[in-house]
């Protein structure tokens, strides 16, 4: 019997506390619903290293095959490997990845995608999947077949096709895999980069996350990495999230590099061979991202937050690259999906080509003052956003409703948007001076808090 909390159906995926919010029967229904909704004949299924993932993947496969569809089981893998498998395989119609990404050990869930690796999310199929799962009414067919087909080696070969290995110069880096899915892949990657001295931390996959959460966006999860960096003095520090679709960076001085600054650096690298191309950056990002894209010969364009929305937008606009403050980075030539591994290789190539330290590459981007993302619990989110717009729009140079509200002024801007995954209102603000940033941050925070 399925015990399903409707709240597990998010804007971008299905996710909740295993055994509390959902169970194996739910997983079976997800498999059945995907076949019924997409009319799939073949489904790619992958899973991460969490203790509950093998059982949930088995249930998903049961659901898929009971509906008469076949399964390509790629086994334990990262989300980028899963996305590659879904986009690369010729004979398939959709994919289901069992993962809770960067969430703590008690969570699990499912990332769903169409056969071209475009995510299934709110407005693009999630509502229909939710309805089918909750109703649980399926007519079982002739049982489909299951073929086991690991694809990690093919993925690595493809990732390396985007860079010039000979350009990468000797350096020392330290990587914290967070006991997620990155470790086994990175060991294979760095066998092909003998010039790099790679120091590994927490490479063994362990879904209990014995050292810290596999979420590089939280500063506390970088503490072990930064401590080790003081001992070994590397050129770069790197941290992955649990399923490897996000990657965080720390410069050689031990300073965390924000995701929007990494967007700027990666855009600079990718635009070297794509002059005049469009690059998307999420509307929480620093003005420095816009400036860098223009300087590198690209066309900057702001976008909404969220991987499902950005991947769809990239396919519509032909953008060569997109980046988010949350350290998701998307590549047109890699099916418009994320790969922490490809991101790392691009950065190693950039460091080698520029002949500079990471802190020196980041320094020119530090010309504005950003508040960071500040979260507020607000009962009436729409009402609060309207209140802020009414108060500030008269003096604004530009007002955007792309995602929440974003008001731009001569020497500062702010964005307030409702979270797609949590009951929160999120504020991001930037100014040309620290004094203006702090004044406006405190001013708007007081209004929202009241």
Q: How far apart are CA 189 and CA 163, in angstroms?
A: 13
Q: How far apart are CA 428 and CA 286, in angstroms?
A: 10
Q: How far apart are CA 270 and CA 273, in angstroms?
A: 6
- Which are the catalytic amino acids? 101
Q: How far apart are CA 8 and CA 216, in angstroms?
A: 23
* Proportion of the chain in helix, strand, coil states, percent, rounded to 5: 40, 25, 35
Residues 6+ apart with CB under 8 A from 66: 28, 31, 32, 138, 140, 141, 143
Q: How far apart are CA 347 and CA 325, in angstroms?
A: 17
Residues 6+ apart with CB under 8 A from 286: 258, 260, 261, 264, 365, 368, 370, 430
Q: How far apart are CA 254 and CA 237, in angstroms?
A: 8
- Helices 434-449 and 381-392, interaxial angle, to 10°? 130
Contact status, residue 280 vs residue 319, Cβ threshold 8 Å = yes
Q: How far apart are CA 50 and CA 57, in angstroms?
A: 11
Contact status, residue 99 vs residue 48, Cβ threshold 8 Å = yes
Residue 214 burial (CB count, 10 A): 32
Supply the DSSP symbol for 188: H
Which pair of structure tokens corresponds to residue 74? 């790629």
What's CA 441's distance to the chain center, in Å? 27
């Amino acid at each position: 019997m399925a015990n399903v909390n409707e709240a597990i159906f998010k804007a971008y995926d299905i996710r909740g506390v295993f055994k509390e919010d959902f169970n194996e029967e739910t997983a079976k229904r997800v498999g059945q619903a995907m076949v019924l909704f997409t009319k799939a004949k073949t489904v790619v299924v992958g899973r991460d290293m969490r203790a509950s993932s093998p059982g949930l993947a088995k249930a998903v496969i049961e659901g898929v095959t009971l509906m008469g569809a076949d399964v390509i089981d790629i086994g334990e893998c990262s989300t980028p490997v899963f996305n590659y498998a879904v986009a690369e395989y010729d004979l398939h119609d959709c994919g289901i990845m069992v993962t809770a990404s960067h969430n703590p050990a008690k969570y699990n869930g499912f990332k769903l995608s169409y056969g071209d690796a475009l995510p299934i999310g709110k407005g693009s199929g999630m509502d229909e999947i939710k309805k089918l799962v909750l109703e649980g009414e399926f007519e079982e067919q002739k049982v489909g077949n299951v073929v086991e087909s690991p694809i990690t080696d093919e993925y690595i070969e493809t990732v390396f096709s985007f860079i010039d290995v000979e350009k990468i110069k000797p350096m020392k880096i330290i990587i914290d895999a967070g006991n997620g899915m990155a470790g086994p892949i990175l060991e294979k990657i760095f066998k092909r980069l003998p010039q790099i001295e790679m120091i590994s931390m927490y490479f063994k996959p362990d879904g209990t996350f014995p050292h810290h959460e596999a979420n590089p966006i939280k500063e506390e999860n970088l503490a072990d990495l930064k401590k080790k960096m003081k001992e070994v003095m590397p050129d770069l520090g790197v941290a992955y999230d649990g399923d490897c679709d996000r990657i965080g960076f720390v410069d050689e001085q031990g300073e965390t590099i924000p995701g929007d600054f990494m967007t700027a650096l990666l855009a600079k690298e990718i635009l070297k061979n794509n002059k005049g191309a469009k690059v998307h950056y999420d509307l929480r990002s620093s003005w420095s991202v816009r400036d860098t894209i223009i300087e590198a010969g690209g066309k900057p364009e702001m976008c909404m937050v969220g991987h499902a929305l950005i991947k769809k937008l990239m396919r519509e606009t032909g953008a060569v690259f997109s980046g988010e403050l949350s350290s998701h980075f998307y590549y047109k030539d890699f099916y418009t999906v994320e790969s922490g591994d490809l991101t790392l290789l691009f950065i190693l190539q950039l460091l080698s080509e520029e002949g500079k330290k990471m802190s020196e590459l980041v320094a020119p981007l530090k010309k504005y003052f950003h508040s960071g993302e500040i979260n507020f619990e607000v009962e009436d989110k729409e009402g609060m956003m309207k209140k802020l717009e009414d108060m500030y729009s008269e003096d604004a140079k530009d007002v955007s409703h792309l995602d929440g509200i974003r008001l731009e002024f001569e020497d500062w801007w702010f964005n307030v948007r409702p979270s797609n995954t949590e009951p929160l209102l999120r504020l991001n603000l930037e100014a040309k001076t620290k004094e203006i940033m702090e004044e406006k941050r405190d001013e708007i925070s007081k209004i929202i808090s009241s």
